[in-house]
């Protein structure tokens, strides 16, 4: 029988549409436990490839005959071989093209809203990494916020929509993934904005993003209003878009809050984190739709695959926003931190321009889930 290919885009649609999928993951047990392709209706069997070299007979009884079967490995090579063996046994199977590396890099664009002037706001959901980035389109111009390193995705998307990227923003100096912001700006001639308090050690020029900056897109009524909200980093900056959408960066997520320790400053920054969440955001309208830079779990996705909720809802339901005692808040933040992101210091230095890793090195640095939140 023929072995089929399944591309990350197809897996993404199954995930968003909550379709059934059986995944045979042939990576090591530790790699599988740390990070896998997650979906609400996905089932899993993890059997390392080396246990299958001599044949797949022992696992045939564990595989369904009424569901799509997808074989997954790190880069695709091992999954092709296992899929071939299963096909020879009469099963209809697919393998994930590009493996977990390709899954980590796939971006799903989802329209969030039509803006006041007819422009559009899109969220790019990096399902395999939990990263979220944004594009605003208005009157032939585009702005990108918190771009991933897959820069051509954004440039091509803007071009297909008939827009030129004129502004690129990073809400903060990222430590869990390599920013594509500066490279997009170099390729398109756009202005690159970065909070100056996060930029003490950067080796490149940028436009300082400070509280109160108001950037117009496409000479229209659409504006990007900067709101200084330190805590995840000392320079962390939120954005209010079109008076309706609050881009919170890594300060506030749907089901959690940002961690303050990725630059080794947890004790110093936890107070800033609390002020941003409990004072600065409290001054804002509860009707604002929160659009974060990350999500932690698949359950945070809405029906259309977007990650968004009103600020008022989060003040009611997000535990990190409902701790009255400051001492208890400090304990929560300091005692519930997940492991540091893979290669986070190298990623920070890359985003500063101090390191220049090649494409494959960048992939390796980013492998694994994001870990920007307090649990």
Q: What would the pLDDT profile of 318-344 be if each residue is shown by its tens digit?
A: 999 999 999 999 888 877 777 776 788
Confidence at residue 373, expressed as pLDDT on a 0 to 100 scale: 73
Pairing of strands 120-126, 131-138: antiparallel
pLDDT at residue 354 greater than cutoff 80: yes
The Cβ of residue 353 has, within 10 Å, a number of other Cβ atoms equal to 14
The Cβ of residue 62 has, within 10 Å, a number of other Cβ atoms equal to 10
pLDDT at residue 180 greater than cutoff 80: yes
Q: Token match 């585009």: residue?
A: 142
Q: What would the pLDDT profile of 190-209 be if each residue is shown by its tens digit?
A: 999 999 999 999 999 999 99
- Of the residues 11, 24, 73, 252, which is catalytic? 73
| pLDDT band, residue 371 (cuts 50/70/90) | confident
pLDDT at residue 264 greater than cutoff 70: no
Average pLDDT over residues 266-274: 82
Reported in sequence order, the residue ranges of 195-256 that DSSP labels E, i.e. its strands, are 207-208, 214-216, 223-228, 237-241, 245-249
Architecture of domain 4-103: 3-Layer(aba) Sandwich (3.40)
Confidence at residue 218, expressed as pLDDT on a 0 to 100 scale: 81
Rounded to 10 degrees, what is the CA torsion of 103, 363, 196, 146?
Answer: -20
In the chain, count of helices (H) and strands (E)? 11, 20
- Residues 321 and 276: their CA atoms lie apart, in Å, by 11
Q: What would the pLDDT profile of 64-113 be if each residue is shown by its tens digit?
A: 988 999 999 999 999 999 999 999 999 999 999 999 999 999 999 999 99
Average pLDDT over residues 236-261: 92
Residues of the chain with CATH 3.40.250.10: 4-103
**Does the annotation count 73 as an active-site position?**
yes
- Of the candidates 271, 6, 241, 261, the one whose C-alpha atom is nearest the C-alpha of residue 142 is 241
| pLDDT band, residue 212 (cuts 50/70/90) | confident
- Residues 294 and 162: their CA atoms lie apart, in Å, by 28
Q: Which tokens in the block code for residue 340?
A: 């540091």
Confidence at residue 333, expressed as pLDDT on a 0 to 100 scale: 83
Residues of the chain with CATH 3.60.15.10: 107-374
**DSSP code at position 2:** P
pLDDT at residue 28 greater than cutoff 70: yes
CATH superfamily of 107-374: Ribonuclease Z/Hydroxyacylglutathione hydrolase-like (3.60.15.10)
Total number of residues shown for the chain: 375
Confidence at residue 192, expressed as pLDDT on a 0 to 100 scale: 97
- Residues 42 and 6: their CA atoms lie apart, in Å, by 15
C-alpha count within 13 angstroms, C-beta hemisphere, residue 179: 28
């Amino acid at each position: 029988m023929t072995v089929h290919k399944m591309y990350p885009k197809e897996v993404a649609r199954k995930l968003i549409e909550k379709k059934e999928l059986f995944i045979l993951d042939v990576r090591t047990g530790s790699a599988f436990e740390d990070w896998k392709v997650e979906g609400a209706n996905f089932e899993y069997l993890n059997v390392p490839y080396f246990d299958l070299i001599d044949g797949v007979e022992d696992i045939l009884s564990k595989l369904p005959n009424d569901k799509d079967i997808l074989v997954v490995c790190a880069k695709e090579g091992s999954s092709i071989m296992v899929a071939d063996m299963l096909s020879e046994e009469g099963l209809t199977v697919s393998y994930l093209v590009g493996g977990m590396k390709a899954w980590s890099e796939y971006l799903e664009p989802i329209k969030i809203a039509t803006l006041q002037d007819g422009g559009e706001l899109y969220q790019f959901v990096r399902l395999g990494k939990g990263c979220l980035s944004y594009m605003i389109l208005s009157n032939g111009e585009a702005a990108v916020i918190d771009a991933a390193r897959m820069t051509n995705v954004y440039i091509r998307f803007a071009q297909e929509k008939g827009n030129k990227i004129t502004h690129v923003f990073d809400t903060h100096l990222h430590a869990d993934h390599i920013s594509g912001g500066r490279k997009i700006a170099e390729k398109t001639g756009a202005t690159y904005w970065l909070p100056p308090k996060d930029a003490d050690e950067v080796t490149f020029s940028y436009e300082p993003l400070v509280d109160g900056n108001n950037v117009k897109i496409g000479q229209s009524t659409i504006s990007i209003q900067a709101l200084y909200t330190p805590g995840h980093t000392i320079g962390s900056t939120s954005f209010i878009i079109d008076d309706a959408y609050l881009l919170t960066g890594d300060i506030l997520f749907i089901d959690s809050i940002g961690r303050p320790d990725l630059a080794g400053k947890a004790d110093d920054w936890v107070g800033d984190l609390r002020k941003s969440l409990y004072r600065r955001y409290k001054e804002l309208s509860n009707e604002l739709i929160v659009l974060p830079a990350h999500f932690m779990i698949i359950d945070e996705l809405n029906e259309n695959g977007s990650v968004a909720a009103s600020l008022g809802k989060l003040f009611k339901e997000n535990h990190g926003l409902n701790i009255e005692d400051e001492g208890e808040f400090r304990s929560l933040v300091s005692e519930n931190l997940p492991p540091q992101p893979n290669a986070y210091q190298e990623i920070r230095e890359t985003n500063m321009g101090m390191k220049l890793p090649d494409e494959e090195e960048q992939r390796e640095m980013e492998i694994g889930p994001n870990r920007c939140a307090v649990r």
